[in-house]
Amino acid sequence: MGTSDRHPARGLDLGYARVSTTKQSLERQRAALNEAGIPDERLYVDKRSGATVDRPGLAELLKYARDGDTIVVHTLDRLGRNLREVLNLVHDLAEKGIGVRSLADPLPINTADEGMGRVAFLLLALFAEMERTYTAERAAHARAVAEAAGRQVGRPLAHPADKIEYARLLKEQGGSFGQIAAKTGIPKTSLHRYLDTPTTTGSAGE
C-alpha cells in the first residue's frame, strides 16, 4: 500500500509495518497504526526478513516522506536489521525534518518530542554505543585468552583470507554481492557474513 507520488500536505503521519517472514501477519501492526489515526492509504508494508537488504515498502516510504512528516511504527525494530541501523536511519530522517514515533516500545518514542520520548531515544543511542564497546572488548579478551593458550580463534576460515580481502575491496568500489560472488567464488550467503560485519581475526566460516 502507500500513498501516490503526490504529497498534498505537510505534517502527515505515515505508517510503516514489517514482518520478518511470510508466515507472520501484519494485521497486529496494521490495526495499531489504524487506531493511531493512520489510514491504509498512508501505510507502507514489507513482508520480508530483517536480514534482507531489499525492502521496497520502506524505500517507497522514505522517497515519499517530506519535511514535517512523521513516520509511525509499532516498535522501532521494524525500521532496521539492528539497533545501530535504526539509530542511523532516525538520525538521517531528523536531518531532513522527518520525525519518527513508535507506539508500543516500553517507552514510546517521538523524536519530535522534547520530553521523555526524546530522552528515551537518546538513551537507546547510548546503550547501542555501550553494547558496541562491550562486544569489542569481549571479543578482544577472548582472542587474547585463546592466543595465549595456543588455540585458534573461531572456526577455520572457509575461504582464503586474500579472497575475503579482495571481496571487501570490491564492495568498497561499489560492487554488488552478485558481482563479488562471481569474481571471488565466495557464495553470497558467506559474503553477507564477511562484509556486513567489522573485520576481525578468525572470521566465521560456512
- Domains defined for the chain, CATH in brackets: 13-113 (3.40.50.1390), 156-206 (1.10.10.60)
Asked if residues 79 and 100 have their Cβ atoms less than 8 Å apart, the reply is yes
Q: Could you report the per-residue pLDDT of 170-192, keeping only the tens digit for each? A: 888 888 888 898 888 888 888 88
Specify which residues 45 forms β-bridges with. Answer: 17
Rounded to whole angstroms, how far apart are CA atoms 159 and 144?
23
Instruction: Please report which confidence band the pLDDT of residue 24 belongs to, taking 50, 70 and 90 as the band edges.
Output: low
Q: State the average pLDDT over residues 128-143.
A: 72
Q: Considering 4, 20, 25, 49, which one is annotated as catalytic?
A: 20
How high is the pLDDT of residue 29?
93
Average pLDDT over residues 69-84: 87
Look up the pTM and report it.
Answer: 0.57
Cell of residue 154, nine digits: 573461531
Q: Give the confidence band of 25 by pLDDT, cuts at 50, 70, 90.
A: confident
Residues 129-143: what's their mean pLDDT?
A: 72
User: Is 80 or 129 the better-scoring residue by pLDDT?
Assistant: 80
Please state, rounded to an integer, the average pLDDT across all residues of the chain: 79
For residue 52, with 0-12 CB atoms within 10 Å meaning exposed, 13-18 middle and 19 or more buried, which class applies? exposed
Residue 38: the pLDDT is 96
Band of the pLDDT at 128, cuts 50, 70, 90? low
> CA 62 to CA 48: how far, in whole Å?
17
- Between 149 and 75, where is the model more confident? 75
| 154 contacts 140 by C-beta, under 8 angstroms | no
pLDDT band at 113 (very low <50, low <70, confident <90, very high): confident
Where helices occur in 5-115 by DSSP H, the ranges are: 27-35, 56-64, 83-95
- pLDDT grade, residue 155 (50/70/90)? low
- Measuring CA to CA, how many Å separate 180 from each of 68, 121, 197, 203? 40, 37, 16, 18
- 157: nearest Cα among 189, 119, 201: 201
Looking at per-residue pLDDT, the higher value among 76 and 39 belongs to 39
Q: What is the pLDDT of residue 85?
A: 84
Torsion of CA 127, 111, 100, 82, to 10 degrees: -10
Instruction: Indicate if 102 belongs to the active site.
Output: no
Determine the pLDDT at residue 65.
Answer: 95
Predicted pLDDT of residue 146: 73
Phi, psi of 41 (to 5 degrees): -70, -10
